Amino acid sequence: MELATLTAKGQVTVPKAVRDALGLQQGDQLSWELEDGAVRAVAPLDVAYLKGLEATLAEWSSQADHEAFQDL
């Protein structure tokens, strides 16, 4: 188990063993998920990829799509 200390500014350093295991590098972004009182860091988060994915899914959110799939 790796431990880290929360600073007064709410910052925490990801332990080196964890950074190494996940291949994290300076500038990588982490996403935090909360579930049943526990937190999980998801890394690395590729924001550019997610934004691109979101943009391509916009074509599936028209009013016609909502009407066609409302009973599913």
pLDDT digits (tens, 9 = 90+) for 6-47: 999 999 999 999 999 988 999 888 888 999 999 988 877 777
Rounded to whole angstroms, the Cα distance separating 45 from 20 reads 16
Cβ burial of 60 (10 Å; 0-12, 13-18, 19+) is exposed
* pLDDT score, position 41: 86
Are the beta carbons of 42 and 30 closer than 8 angstroms?
yes
Average pLDDT on 62-67 reads 82
Please report the pLDDT score of residue 46 as a whole number: 79
* Residue 52 pLDDT greater than 90, yes or no: no
Local structure of residue 36 (DSSP, 8 states): T
pLDDT for 37 equals 92
Hey, where are the domains in the chain? 16-69
Q: What would the mean pLDDT of 58-64 be, rounded to a whole number?
A: 77
Q: Cα-flanking dihedrals φ and ψ of residue 65, to 5°?
A: -65, -45
